[in-house]
Amino acid sequence: MYPEYLQLSLEKVAEKREANTALQPERMTAEEKDVLLKGFHPDYRTDQYTELRAGANKGDKVNTELAETLMGRARIHAGDVNLDHIDYDVDVLIIGAGGAGCAAAIEADNAGANVLMATKLRLGDANTMMAEGGIQGATKPTDSPAQHFLDAYGGGHYLGKKELVYKLVTEAPECFQWLNDMGVEFDKEEDGTLIAIHGGGTSRKRMHAAKDYTGAEIMRTLRDETRCRRIPCLNYAACIELLRDESGNIGGAVLINTNTKELKVVRAKTTIITTGGSGRLHIQGFPTSNHHGATADGLVLAYRVGAPLLFADTMQYHPTGAAYPEQILGALVTEKVRGLGAKLVNADGDVFMHPLETRDVAAAAVIRECSERGKGIDIPGGGQAVWLDTPMIEKIHGEGTIVSKIPGMFKMFNKYGIDMRKEPILIYPTLHYQNGGIEINEKCEVANTKNLFASGEVVGGIHGRNRLMGNSLLDVIVFGRESGRQAAARAKEVDHVGRLNLDHVAEFEQELSDAWVDTGVVSPKLFPNYKANFRTYLDTSFSSDKADEQ
Amino acid sequence: MPEKNEPNLITINLYGKRYRVPDNMTMLKALEYCGYAPTRGIGCRHGFCGACAMVYRIKGERQLHYCLGCETRVQDMMYISTISYFPLEKQAYKLDELEPNADMIMHLYPEIYSCVSCNTCTATCTQGLDVMGYIHDAQKGDFKACAEKSFDCIMCNCCASRCPAGISHPEVAMLARRLNGKYIAPEAKHLTERVAEVKKGDILEDVRTLMAKSDDEIRELYNNREIEK
Ligand SMILES: Cc1cc2nc3c(=O)[nH]c(=O)nc-3n(C[C@H](O)[C@H](O)[C@H](O)COP(=O)(O)OP(=O)(O)OC[C@H]3O[C@@H](n4cnc5c(N)ncnc54)[C@H](O)[C@@H]3O)c2cc1C
Ligand code: SF4
Ligand code: SF4
Ligand code: FES
């Protein structure tokens, strides 16, 4: 149910629907896109960026929220915890138990390593669980790894590290088989042929799915496998700092029990960071599609021990995040909605772009409509949005299409009394994916460090400056597995981990104070703090006038 | 500026304590609004992970409700508790060594045969699944049916929390789906062939040739690539 004040705009949208459905909006020219992106894409908002003044990327600019986190103060310092008291002594420590973490755990276990996973929420509570759309892989005779390379490398604006892209596309088929053999239920035809469709930027139909639960299906299967193997996983155990030994090699980490705040010391021959993305930093104030724990922790952990980041300045904003009702603010409205023919229209009911422009272009166009052009719609609670005219879908494909093709979307809005078959929905870009991250090589070794590995959304370089949908779930599997294999192999070569220390924390903080930096932030952040937002919104929440009767 | 809808304040009871909260929030947000900063019983925040199971009653009503806190709106006089963890029984197995038949499930999860067909699980399911139905399918060793009926299960464990027979429904369903994916669904022959091709290596030569080209050459190829219809 939309508030009264939106009725006028809704009427305009309805009036023009017939004509808008038939309309064939022009695609933008390369020049138009360029101007649009530079003017309105958040990646180009230099006023929102801050220079890093310490660490391996000193001198580079990243989003201010990320810069403050990267240059934050540590949660612990030498002396806060007895590092000679080892609580867990393992071959391979895996930080984070999402898709990449579980894939790594399984492969390290295959290699005979003694593995420990530690994760902030529960095993499997992760962005991987939320991926709806699909996973790419050149499995079809009409497709090839070379074609996949072309799409991924080109889509990333020719900036991906070629050897990483090579690994991504050439190992994809085997990874599909690996998943299938573990029981992942990919969508198939009767004869077993995998069903694949196009995704943004693909030249072949290469997007494979498990209904609209692709990530969940992969995640729950990997999780089940780690449980079947009894690979130990510490839940509610957030890593707050890596540890080095006397020779400067990474030798484990300090974990905090998020419930009791108790600290634990892990000594590990090798360590893998798989902590995922950073949507919950709410870069530039954007809402996010990410899970509660996506706070860039892994970037902080690695950066503080001297690891460089690659393309950490670029984020993916999904053009269609839910903007209303507030309950689902930031939730993903899948690309499929536009794929089925729904167009974006402004407050006057006018179509302002082709519905299938790429994510970055579409996001910028929505932002321009809501800012410079003043054609956005005010949403209750503050902020702006545009309409995504979903009733067009059934005008084009007939009644029933919405419920049969995008049931999840229908359910999500219907819960709040919005029938997207009859009324349009309100959308605004949402912070979706971290394009860059920790720099690794094809063995997943983290640059500038020893015995430290990383995989998944936390790394940078595979997707250049722009990830194509479906390539991240794939990278999570390909590089997750590789990091597990490599870390296990290296662990065999390490016969001794020296005395552990937190010297890097002191070194980093010295660098910060030499540069006169004090961001006032403590990091890794672990969780977003929404309590604070609400307090400014309304001051008193609980009533003193009545007793707490049962 | 149009007139904004200011939210109405309503009363909820959280863990036995009363709070006044705006009525446009999800239960999870209301929890945060009241000053809690949950570090468990929270995950995706968008209905995918099952971490935020909650149970509530509306004061004066007899019915008990189970739901996901991240996608259920607060109502006046809602009495709420969270179920951030519920103990289930999960068997460890080697999928490669299992035979997808009823004997196997009888061995792993014998308690499913104690189902008294009360249908409480189905009535409780936050995803509206036919939970009793899929447990009955599992009893018969019909893993395909069990997998299909349970596909949307997000493993919130609400059903299990109410089952008089102590069944761990989501774990049974998980096993059924893995069996279905591995053994019952037809093989993707083109995938097997592609994997063999990659192993042989010729097909990788093309990628290496492409990689060796300059970015300008690759750009040329990219911009002129043919898009499959
Ligand atoms: C809504 C949504 C839809 C998406 N759709 C698609 C899609 O269709 N196709 C596609 O390819 N990609 C998609 N993606 C992207 C993709 O899902 C992710 O990039 C990918 O799953 C990341 O996997 P990961 O294992 O690297 O990280 P995650 O799966 O996020 O796992 C990270 C884990 O690390 C833990 N962690 C974090 N910090 C710490 C710490 N300090 N200590 C311990 N543990 C920690 C987290 O709790 C979590 O368990 C989507 C993402 C979202 C959010
Ligand atoms: S709640 Fe338990 S006993 Fe009742 S129908 Fe469901 S599985 Fe059977
Ligand atoms: S069947 Fe799955 S989704 Fe339904 S209540 Fe049980 S665990 Fe939750
Ligand atoms: S938090 Fe994941 S389902 Fe609610």
Residues of A within 8 A of B202 (CB-CB) are none
User: Over 70: is that where the pLDDT of A442 sits?
Assistant: yes
Q: Check A183 against B33: CB less than 8 A apart.
A: no
Interface contact A61, partner B, CB < 8 A:
no
> Does B137 share its domain with B171?
yes
* pLDDT at A536 (0 to 100): 41
**Measured distance CA(A274)–CA(A96) in Å, rounded:** 5
Residues of A within 8 A of B186 (CB-CB) are 188, 190-192
3-state secondary structure of A429: strand
**Measured distance CA(B204)–CA(A172) in Å, rounded:** 12
User: Over 90: is that where the pLDDT of A60 sits?
Assistant: yes
The answer to whether residue B88 is domain-embedded is no
Cβ of B115 closer than 6 Å to ligand 2, yes or no, is yes
* pLDDT at A533 (0 to 100): 63
Candidate ranges A80-94, A520-534, B19-33; pick with highest mean pLDDT: A80-94
User: For chain A, which domains are there?
Assistant: 4-40+319-429 (3.90.700.10), 88-132+149-166+214-314+435-504 (3.50.50.60)
* pLDDT at B155 (0 to 100): 96
Instruction: Look up tokens 């997207």; give the residue.
Output: A420
Cross-strand partners of A133: none
**Measured distance CA(B197)–CA(A529) in Å, rounded:** 50
Q: Which of residues 425-484 of A touch B (CB under 8 A)?
A: none
* pLDDT at A548 (0 to 100): 60
> Does B102 share its domain with B65?
no
Mean pLDDT in residue range B172-180: 98
* pLDDT at A132 (0 to 100): 87
The answer to whether residue B190 is domain-embedded is no
Q: Check A180 against B33: CB less than 8 A apart.
A: no
User: A524 versus A382: which is more confidently predicted?
Assistant: A524
Interface contact B2, partner A, CB < 8 A:
yes
Q: Check B177 against A185: CB less than 8 A apart.
A: yes
Mean pLDDT in residue range A120-127: 96
**Measured distance CA(A69)–CA(A311) in Å, rounded:** 16
> Does B120 share its domain with B176?
yes
Q: Check A542 against B227: CB less than 8 A apart.
A: no
CA of A277 to the centre of ligand 1 (A): 6
- pLDDT band at A532, cuts 50/70/90? low
CB atoms within 10 A of CB A247: 11
Find out whether the peptide bond into B22 is cis, omega within 30 degrees of 0.
Answer: no
* pLDDT at B5 (0 to 100): 53
Quote the Cα angle for B125-B128-B133, to 5°. Answer: 80
* Average pLDDT for chain A: 94
Q: Check B191 against A550: CB less than 8 A apart.
A: no
The partner residue sitting opposite A150, judged by closest CB among B151, B182, B221, is B221
- pLDDT band at B3, cuts 50/70/90? very low
- pLDDT band at A28, cuts 50/70/90? confident
Dihedral Cα A295, A316, A364, A340, nearest 10 deg: -120
Question: Ligand 4 pocket by C-beta < 6 Å: which residues?
Answer: B 42-45, 47-52, 68, 70
Testing ligand 3's pocket by substitution, the residue of B89, B161, B169 carrying the most ligand atoms inside 8 A of its CB is B169
pTM above 0.90, yes or no: yes
Reported as a single tens digit per residue, the pLDDT across A288-322 is 999 999 999 999 999 999 999 999 999 999 999 99
The partner residue sitting opposite B178, judged by closest CB among A4, A191, A221, is A221
* pLDDT at A537 (0 to 100): 42
**Complex-level ipTM beyond the 0.85 threshold:** yes
User: Over 50: is that where the pLDDT of A333 sits?
Assistant: yes
The partner residue sitting opposite A548, judged by closest CB among B16, B40, B44, is B16
Q: Decide: B158 and B124 in contact? Cβ < 8 Å.
A: yes
The answer to whether residue B146 is domain-embedded is yes
* pLDDT at A405 (0 to 100): 82
CA of B80 to the centre of ligand 3 (A): 19
Residues of B within 8 A of A259 (CB-CB) are 39-40
**Measured distance CA(A409)–CA(A333) in Å, rounded:** 7
Name the closest ligand to CA A293.
Answer: 1
Question: Ligand 3 pocket by C-beta < 6 Å: which residues?
Answer: B 50, 124-127, 129, 131, 153-159, 169-170
* pLDDT at B144 (0 to 100): 98
Testing ligand 3's pocket by substitution, the residue of B115, B129, B172 carrying the most ligand atoms inside 8 A of its CB is B129
**Buried-exposed string A384-417: b where 16+ CB fall within 10 A, e elsewhere:** bbbbbbbbbbbbeeeeebbeebbebbbebbeebe
User: Over 50: is that where the pLDDT of A539 sits?
Assistant: no
- pLDDT band at A201, cuts 50/70/90? confident
Ligand 3: nearest atom to the Cα of B152: 3
Reported as a single tens digit per residue, the pLDDT across B98-147 is 999 999 999 999 999 999 999 999 999 999 999 999 999 999 999 999 99
Cβ of B116 closer than 6 Å to ligand 2, yes or no, is yes
**Measured distance CA(A120)–CA(A525) in Å, rounded:** 11
Q: What is the CATH number of the domain that holds B27?
A: 3.10.20.740
Q: Which of B38, B60, B82 is the last residue of a domain?
A: B82
> Does B111 share its domain with B163?
yes
The partner residue sitting opposite A327, judged by closest CB among B26, B92, B189, is B26
Interface contact A139, partner B, CB < 8 A:
yes
The answer to whether residue B100 is domain-embedded is yes
Taking CA–CA distances from A141, the nearest residue in chain B reads: B190
* pLDDT at A408 (0 to 100): 81
Q: Which of B60, B82, B104 is the last residue of a domain?
A: B82
* pLDDT at A538 (0 to 100): 43
Cross-strand partners of A263: A256
User: Over 60: is that where the pLDDT of A546 sits?
Assistant: no
> Does B13 share its domain with B73?
yes
Q: Decide: A484 and A470 in contact? Cβ < 8 Å.
A: no
User: Over 90: is that where the pLDDT of B80 sits?
Assistant: yes
User: Over 90: is that where the pLDDT of A90 sits?
Assistant: yes
CB atoms within 10 A of CB B91: 14
Range of the domain at B219: 195-223
Reported as a single tens digit per residue, the pLDDT across A338-385 is 888 899 999 999 999 988 788 889 999 999 999 999 999 999 878 899
* pLDDT at A540 (0 to 100): 44
Mean pLDDT in residue range B172-188: 98
The answer to whether residue B1 is domain-embedded is no
Mean pLDDT in residue range B151-172: 97
> Does B154 share its domain with B173?
yes
CB atoms within 10 A of CB B221: 15
Reported as a single tens digit per residue, the pLDDT across A445-502 is 999 999 999 999 999 999 999 899 899 999 999 999 999 999 999 999 999 999 999 9
Residues of B within 8 A of A289 (CB-CB) are 46
Mean pLDDT in residue range A138-162: 96
User: Over 70: is that where the pLDDT of A159 sits?
Assistant: yes
* pLDDT at A212 (0 to 100): 82
The partner residue sitting opposite A548, judged by closest CB among B17, B152, B189, is B17
Q: Which helix (H) or strand (E) holds A377?
A: strand A377-378
Name the closest ligand to CA A444.
Answer: 1
- pLDDT band at A529, cuts 50/70/90? confident
Mean pLDDT in residue range B58-84: 95
Residue from B57, B154, B207, B220 to probe the interface with A (highest A Cβ count within 10 Å)? B207
The answer to whether residue B144 is domain-embedded is yes
Report the domain count for chain B: 3
> Does B35 share its domain with B62?
yes
> Does B209 share its domain with B175?
no
Interface contact B60, partner A, CB < 8 A:
no
3-state secondary structure of A195: coil
Phi/psi zone of residue A325: left (φ > 0), alpha (ψ -120 to 50 degrees), beta? beta
The answer to whether residue B2 is domain-embedded is no
Residues of B within 8 A of A328 (CB-CB) are 46, 71
Q: Check A185 against B22: CB less than 8 A apart.
A: no
Among A165-174, A530-539, B8-17, B152-161, where is mean pLDDT lowest? A530-539
> Does B102 share its domain with B173?
yes
CA of A39 to the centre of ligand 1 (A): 30
